[in-house]
Amino acid sequence: MSLFKLPLPFKTLMLCVIIIASVAGHLTKTVETHSSFYIHAAHQSKSYLTHLKVGRRNENKLVNKQDSMGNNVQNSTDIISHPGLLSGRNLLHEDNQSQYSQQIDLAKGAWGRLLHLANGNWLAICTEFPSHTTSVLKIWRSNNDLQTWHPLAEVGIPGRKMDNGELFQLSNGNLLLTCRSLIDNISYELPVYESSDMGASWKYLSMIMENNAVINENNPSQGLWEPTFYQLSDSKIAVAYSTEMHSIASPSYSQICAFKVSNNNGTSWGSEHVMVEEPGGGSLRPGMPVVRRMSNGEYMEVSEIVGINNAEVCYKISPDGIHWPSGLGTPIPHQHAGPFLIALHDGRLVVTSCSNEISYSDDFGKTWKIVQPPVWNLGFTHSYPAVYQVSGDMLAVISSHDGISMRLVSIDAHTQSVQVIK
């Protein structure tokens, strides 16, 4: 039956249905178009796709949606990922394994790391696993002293596993992101991405190191892992990382810690230098290096030594962050696997590890004191914790055990005890 032969009320009804269906179809296509897209980033002779699930394309950058508080978010639903945000309170709950009562759950995933921005906000980065073949980096922002977190961006490459995300702010205010990016037994890369809008969007910048020519089916392993930035005193930046690429050299090193220096804010990187190695080569595996400049101007590096005493944590000291003594370093008592180091404003050094203990030194590493009781009463487990100074004696202690969680604590230098910040 022709629409024009229907009575007027039916004509009006049918036209409304058609218009609504048309608009709905257009909206559906719009959502499909803008909910997921790719930024093309080319380097050398290859092309890479950076997958960012936010906003819309605008001159190869991202323009994000905003929530009612003016915070950029990936889409209108992602804001509920932190339940405490909906009720306007912190997400706190009792932990029956510890005397500490306050715990802030940041995100699901693994390998949580933070960055305190110059504008006072905080960023967090962690790894999430949407499938068995890929993993992506999720970035969150807090503008209220770590209490609540808003999703900001997601960085990933289809078909690759991205992990060990680390953030760094340059003196010009721009941010750098590095990570490991791999296809198992085929390709290993340590890329760098840059953000000029406080982490809301990212573009490919450079490649620290890559191995896309794995031989003998990756036996022995020839991977690249755990990059982390550090600032040099002459405005240059450096990056330390773990590499297995010397496993096929002669002499053979199962793994070493190495570093490179950039003279142009990470746009390019110089030659590789050895930071930690087993003398003469062998099966020991120095790895997971972290470097900090101390208040006396020297630099301390900590790393795990897999193959000795349950991956004992050792440290080294360099006068300038460039020249490092040979060998494995000096053990830090009670610390094993996955170390993390910070230098406090008052000169103290704080170290933690997968032992889930906190140690500090007030004499630049000559002696170490263990803090009791532990912030996370987990014993030894691969929680890959991290510690950050919030202000004064207040520290944020991150755990990647069963998701990314955080506690705010203070260290009493006189009693060597930890107290929860209420």
CATH architecture of 59-420: 6 Propeller (2.120)
Strand partners, 139: 125, 153
Nearest residue to 57 via CA among 177, 201, 156, 173: 201
Domain ranges across the chain? 59-420
- pLDDT, position 68: 28
- pLDDT, position 416: 64
- pLDDT, position 202: 98
Copy the structure tokens of residue 267: 């746009």
Q: Per residue of the chain (422 residues), give pLDDT as tens.
A: 434 344 444 444 444 444 334 433 433 332 222 222 222 222 332 222 233 322 222 222 222 333 323 333 332 223 222 222 222 222 222 333 334 437 888 888 999 999 999 999 999 999 999 877 799 999 999 999 898 899 999 999 999 999 999 999 999 999 999 999 999 999 999 999 999 999 999 999 999 999 999 999 999 999 999 999 999 998 999 999 999 999 999 999 999 999 999 999 999 999 999 999 999 999 999 999 999 999 999 999 999 999 999 999 999 999 999 999 999 999 999 999 999 999 999 999 999 999 999 999 999 999 999 988 888 889 999 999 999 999 888 899 999 998 999 998 887 766 666 665 54
CB atoms within 10 A of CB 214: 19
What whole-number distance in Å separates Cα of residue 204 and Cα of residue 195? Answer: 9
What whole-number distance in Å separates Cα of residue 304 and Cα of residue 315? Answer: 9
What whole-number distance in Å separates Cα of residue 239 and Cα of residue 255? Answer: 17
SS3 9: helix
- pLDDT, position 421: 53
- pLDDT, position 419: 62
Report the phi/psi class of residue 314: left, alpha or beta, with left for phi > 0 and alpha for psi in -120 to 50: beta
What whole-number distance in Å separates Cα of residue 330 and Cα of residue 51? Answer: 42
CA angle 217–161–66, rounded 5-degree value: 165
What whole-number distance in Å separates Cα of residue 390 and Cα of residue 122? Answer: 10
What whole-number distance in Å separates Cα of residue 286 and Cα of residue 331? Answer: 12
Nearest residue to 106 via CA among 78, 133, 135, 83: 83
SS3 246: helix
| 370 in Cβ contact with 357 (< 8 Å) | yes
CA angle 122–123–127, rounded 5-degree value: 150
| 142 in Cβ contact with 149 (< 8 Å) | yes
- pLDDT, position 393: 81
Amino acid at 59: E
- pLDDT, position 52: 32
SS3 41: strand
DSSP-derived secondary structure letter, 380? S
**387-392 — which CB contacts under 8 Å span 24+ positions?**
387/340, 387/342, 387/350, 387/352, 387/358, 388/114, 388/116, 388/342, 389/342, 389/344, 389/345, 390/116, 390/145, 390/146
